Chains A and B, each alone.
Chain A
Amino acid sequence: MEVLEGLGEETMQAILWQMSTQGVSCAPDTFDLHIFAVGMRDLFGHGAESILEEIYQNIVCRLETFEQTLSYNGFGNVGGGSTDCMSTSALQKIQSIIGITDGQRGRKQ
């Protein structure tokens, strides 16, 4: 929500309300990333890619456990390991990050 809040609090509330009218829940226990991305694309079109990319950058910056596997590209944005960031969508990058996090937690357990 930090990325949406960066647009402005009233704007964030308006976007979340529009999403809720489409059945998209932002509550932590019922949140579905894919449905959220679809809802954003419905509202913003291809512009949703920029917002999802910001969310991805926000998540990566918060995950300290990925420092060794991440590299920085020429524009100062965090990359996803050896994967070329430009060829994958923001949603796929977010899903891959969440997948890596879950896998690491499984190994630790």
Chain B
Amino acid sequence: MIVNLTRTETSNSLSPDHVRKELRMMLLASIGTMNLFVLLVAESQRAIISHWLVLVCAAAVVAVSVVIMYRQKFKGLYGRTYGAIAIGLLLWFSAEVVSACEQYLITNSLTAARGPIASGSANFQPSMADAIWLAGYGFFAYFLFRIMIHYSKSIKPQMLILIAAATAISALVLAQSIAYYYNLYGPSSSSGASAVISEKTISLFLKIEYPILDLLLIVPALVILSGVKDGRLTSTPWLLLSAAVLILAVGDIGNIYLSVLGVAQNHWMWNMLATAGYLCIATSLFWYNRFFIFDVKRTVRIWQESNR
């Protein structure tokens, strides 16, 4: 049942324009508050605090995505794609938890972990968290590319080629740069030549893969945004999602360079970017849950209240 309402009778809570303003303020306030909190604590505690905030934000994102998956199941195109991103986000959160546990077992402290936000020589060995992170990227990629194919008819081919070329060039430059600094500052092994090549190759691959995968996700996100940026319902979630992918990519790149160069003190700065990225994803999913999944009871209740 769909209740017919005129624009004047629509409550503010159901109006995209009103909700957009509120969400913008809440998002900026959340990011500002969390990052300010990290800056105000003692410098020795920043790494731990920032890491815990990343875990909390990742958990919040998973909670919103699970709600979406529960409400719409896997029905329809959006049901399947948003179900996939929910699984991907769950895997990323699991990887965060696994890496924190591994770090605690190794060093008995919850400082910077493995994976894309790791630091120090302990990161040069592959771990279970890396496998979980990579699996999460697969679901995220399915979500973005499937939606991009859905909107493909409204996207100019020139825009697609431009964004893809820019991303490919950026990925190439990034890979070359990381490999260059890795060969200068990376670990050296005293064992046999084949073992050195194997370990160094694997660790270099781990260093390069995360920012390149992030850059590959940016292509469909920006392409979709170019097609739907004018929509009253679609502009906000895709702007937030594209911003989140960009922010997470910048954070991963910064972390990789710090770990390759052996600088372990300032990883908390890149964790702040991860916090901001996760909050943007959570806000995007909240918008989708509000405006793309119809809630009959809520709509009728608001209509009844506004027409008393």
| Residues of A participating in the B interface, judged by any CB pair closer than 8 Å | 5-18, 20-23, 41-50, 53, 90
Question: B227 — which chain A residues lie within 8 A by C-beta?
Answer: 45-47, 50
Q: A residues within 8 A CB of B5?
A: 17, 20-21
Q: Are A43 and B292 in contact (CB under 8 A)?
A: no
Q: Which of B7, B77, B228 contacts A22 (CB 8 A)?
A: B7
From A17, which residue of chain B is reached at the shortest CB distance? B2
Chain B residues bordering chain A, tally (CB within 8 A): 37
Contact bitstring B35-79, A, C-beta under 8 A = 1, else 0: 000000000000000000000000000000000000110011111
Given contacts A23-B7, A45-B227, A47-B151, contact A7 B76 (CB under 8 A): yes
Residues on A with C-beta less than 8 A from B155 are 46
B231 and A44 contact, CB distance less than 8 A: yes
Assembly CA distance A96 to B234 (angstroms) = 28
Q: From B3, B76, B154, B292, give the contact of A46 (CB < 8 A).
A: B154
Residues of A within 8 A of B14 (CB): 21
Interface residues of B in 101-159 (CB under 8 A from A): 150-155
B299 within 8 A of A: yes
User: CB within 8 Å of A: which of B205-255?
Assistant: 227-235
Given contacts A45-B229, A46-B230, A50-B150, contact A5 B294 (CB under 8 A): no
CA distance A19 to B79 in the complex (A): 21
Q: How far is the CB of A46 from chain B (nearest CB, A)?
A: 5
User: How far is it, in angstroms, between the C-alpha of A1 and the C-alpha of B30 when the chains are bound?
Assistant: 39
Choose from A16, A18, A22, A50 the contact partner of B291 (Cβ within 8 Å). A18
Tell me if B6 counts as interface (CB < 8 A to partner A).
Answer: yes
**Which A residues touch B94, using CB under 8 A?**
none
Cβ contacts under 8 Å, B292 to chain A:
10-11, 14-15
Q: B306 at interface (Cβ–Cβ under 8 A)? A: no
Cross-chain contact B4 with A20 (CB below 8 angstroms): yes
CB distance B79 to A8 under 8 Å? yes
* Those 6 A-B pairs whose CB atoms lie nearest each other, nearest first: A8-B76, A45-B230, A45-B231, A13-B294, A49-B154, A47-B228
| Contact partners of A22 in chain B: CB under 8 A | 7
Cβ of B93 to closest chain A Cβ, rounded Å: 24
Across the interface, B76 reaches (CB within 8 A) one of A6, A41, A43, namely: A6
**A-side contacts of B294, CB under 8 Å:** 10-11, 13-14, 17
A45-B235, A46-B227, A47-B234 are contacts. A10–B293 as well, Cβ < 8 Å?
yes
Q: Does B10 contact A (CB under 8 A)?
A: yes
Are B77 and A42 interface neighbours, CB within 8 A? no
